[in-house]
């Protein structure tokens, strides 16, 4: 039986390197398709990592694409010349062009998940949105790419928990481990082209999460304290973090928690006001529904009691919700 073992990984993030270092396969990864640092900076890729030297040190041939889209003729020609059988896509926030997919003997396989499972929750930033929405479970799917948006047939699925302490970072950890596990569990079938595919449930209308940008990390202090806590966890590292202003000076919050539903005598203080600063540098902010303890923050000024945070006249973006109050919207109904 023929073995299709010319394996490539496509990615440009720290999660890509983790996959390269931790995949336990009987077949070597031969190729890495990635982008150079200037392209990572141009496209503002969160958690971008220059993987060239690390991959080459592991004996992996590296191709740095000219375009992040992989649509430049030089990119298409070179990728085609590699005669790749299987590509695993990890840490690559773009579609894979049909011209690339057609050049692969078996196919390109990536992961996409959501708290409701596909076809619900396609689109951008599903792990971030799941924390924001207060979800408690996440389904990671290993699927074969087609030219659509997260519409490919599914090879296998892994479900994991979203805890009250999970953040954007820990969700990345869990999702990467799930991808590793799913690849290892299915590799023998993939390299022998003896695997089954399950179509996404066509009885459900697909929904799509919208794109998030660094600007969307602006804190709205009119929200309830537990909503704010989830929001801060959802946009922390490796993303750009939640931020607010004291006057025109920005403060970025990396870690916070709902401290207590009781206000400890600060009931009449306006929401968004610092009511206490501790010796450690941590501080409490009065919110609707209780107090928020800020554990880690970054600013060019000292936070003081009585300081009131605001948005410095920046507009807070409001995302459309579906009929259940969540942020995944049927295609064509965005905006």
Note the pLDDT tens digit of each residue in 106-134: 999 999 999 988 999 999 999 999 999 99
* Average pLDDT value for residue range 77-102: 95
332: left (phi over 0), alpha (psi -120 to 50) or beta: left
The average confidence (pLDDT) of the chain is 95
- Decide which of 2.60.40.1180, 3.30.830.10, 3.40.50.170, 3.40.640.10 is the CATH code for 7-209: 3.40.50.170
Q: How confident is the model at residue 334 (pLDDT cuts 50, 70, 90)?
A: low
How far, in Å, CA of 243 to CA of 236, rounded?
10
Query: How do residues 176-199 score in pLDDT, each as one tens digit?
Result: 999 999 999 999 999 999 999 999
Q: Give me 57's structure tokens.
A: 């040190």
For residue 190, with 0-12 CB atoms within 10 Å meaning exposed, 13-18 middle and 19 or more buried, which class applies?
Answer: buried
Give the integer Cα–Cα distance in Å for 286 and 302.
Answer: 18
Q: Quickly list H helices, 82-145.
A: 98-101, 126-132
Measured at the CA of 183, the angle between CA 179 and CA 188, to 5 degrees, comes to 175
- Say whether 128 sits in a helix, a strand or coil: helix
pLDDT score of 46: 83
Query: Which token pair is 192?
Result: 């022998």
Give 283's strand partners: 277, 294
Would you state the pLDDT for residue 331?
83
**Would you list the domain boundaries of the chain?**
7-209, 214-299
- CATH number 3.40.640.10 is the correct assignment for the domain at 214-299: no
pTM of this structure: 0.93
Question: 202 burial class (0-12, 13-18, 19+ CB within 10 angstroms)?
Answer: exposed
The predicted structure's pLDDT at residue 93: 83
Place of tokens 């982008």: 35
Per-residue pLDDT of 18-65, as tens digits, reads: 999 999 999 999 999 999 999 999 998 888 999 999 999 999 999 999
Q: What is the mean pLDDT of residues 194-214?
A: 95
State whether residue 21 is helix, strand or coil.
Answer: helix
What pLDDT score does 335 carry? 46
- Contact present, 138 and 111 (Cβ < 8 Å): no
Assign 1 a pLDDT band (cuts: 50, 70, 90).
Answer: confident
Reported confidence tier of residue 258, pLDDT bands at 50, 70, 90: very high
């Amino acid at each position: 039986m023929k073995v299709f073992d010319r394996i490539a990984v496509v990615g440009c993030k720290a999660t890509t390197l983790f996959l390269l270092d931790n995949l336990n396969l009987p077949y070597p990864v031969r190729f890495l398709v990635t982008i150079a640092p200037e392209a990572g900076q141009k496209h503002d890729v969160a958690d971008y990592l220059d993987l060239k030297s690390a991959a080459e040190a592991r004996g992996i041939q590296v191709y740095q694409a000219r375009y992040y889209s992989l649509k430049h003729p030089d990119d298409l020609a070179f990728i085609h010349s590699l005669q790749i059988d299987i590509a695993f896509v990890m840490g690559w926030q773009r579609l894979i062009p049909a011209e690339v997919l057609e050049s692969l003997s078996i196919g390109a396989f990536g992961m996409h998940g959501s708290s409701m499972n596909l076809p619900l929750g396609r689109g951008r930033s599903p792990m971030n949105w799941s924390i924001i929405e207060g979800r408690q479970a996440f389904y990671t799917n290993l699927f074969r790419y087609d030219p659509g948006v997260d519409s490919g047939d599914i090879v296998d699925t892994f479900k994991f928990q979203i805890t009250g302490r999970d953040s954007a970072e820990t969700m990345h950890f869990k999702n990467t481990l799930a991808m590793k596990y799913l690849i290892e569990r299915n590799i023998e079938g993939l390299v022998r082209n003896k695997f089954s595919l399950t179509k996404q449930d066509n009885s459900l209308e697909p929904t799509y999460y919208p794109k998030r940008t660094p600007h969307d990390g602006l804190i709205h202090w009119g929200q309830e304290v537990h909503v704010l806590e989830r929001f801060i966890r959802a946009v922390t590292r490796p993303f750009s973090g939640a931020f607010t202003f004291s006057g025109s000076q920005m403060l970025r919050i990396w870690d916070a928690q709902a401290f207590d539903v009781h206000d400890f005598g600060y009931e009449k203080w306006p929401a968004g006001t610092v009511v206490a600063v501790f010796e450690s540098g941590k501080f409490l902010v009065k919110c609707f529904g209780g107090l928020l303890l800020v554990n880690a923050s970054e600013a060019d000024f000292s936070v003081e009691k009585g300081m009131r945070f605001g948005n410095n006249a920046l507009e807070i973006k409001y995302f459309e919700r579906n009929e259940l109050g969540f942020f995944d919207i049927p295609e064509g109904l965005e905006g």
